[in-house]
Amino acid sequence: MFRVALKASTSLHNAARQCLKAQAGAVSAVRYSHGKEETDEEFDNRYVKYFDRPDIDHWEIRKAMNDITAEDLVPEPRIIIAALKACRRLNDYSLAVRYLEAVQWKCGSKKSKIWPWILQEIKPTLSELGILTPEEMGYDKPELALKNVYLM
């Protein structure tokens, strides 16, 4: 009986020790978690590096843009700048404007606070590449109307 109790207490002791170890090292792989979590910095760097690839092509840039728009965040200006430069390399002007519209949409209800700052950060790149913002193109208001498919 005592041996059983002793075994139980040692296993409990070991478990407690491992839990304490887990708390101490948050970066190392913990038993119950999936893996190392990416920091914001690493996330941004990953996307900037992807867009900065000199041999990026249409498929990849669109995949990256769709993916980053699907994330629950407004991209950092340096990611946007890298994306615009990639559009320039691919000679696709409309994609650049489309992505700016997507960023504006990602700002959501806080657009009046976030977008002016982003615009200020990316303005040098916009003037350098000759990209107009959606407002300058007149696309901040609807230009054309589409007929409702259910009423055709």
Q: Which of residues 56-85 bind another protein (CB under 8 A)?
A: 56-63, 65-66, 69-70
| Residue 101 within binding range of another protein, rule CB under 8 A | yes
The sign of the CA dihedral 97, 101, 102, 106 is: positive
d(CA 127, CA 141): 22
Task: Compare residues 23 and 148 and give the one whose CB is closer to another protein.
Answer: 148
* Residue with Cβ nearer another protein (20 or 144): 144
DSSP state of 78: H
33 secondary structure, DSSP code: S
Give the three-class secondary structure for 34: coil
Of 28 and 91, the one with the shorter C-beta distance to another protein is 91
Instruction: Indicate whether 3 belongs to the interface with another protein (CB under 8 A).
Output: no
Q: Does 141 bind another protein (CB under 8 A)?
A: yes
CB burial of residue 13 (10 Å; 0-12, 13-18, 19+):
exposed
Residues that bind another protein (CB under 8 A): 53-63, 65-66, 69-70, 88-95, 97-99, 101-102, 104-105, 129-132, 134, 137-146, 148
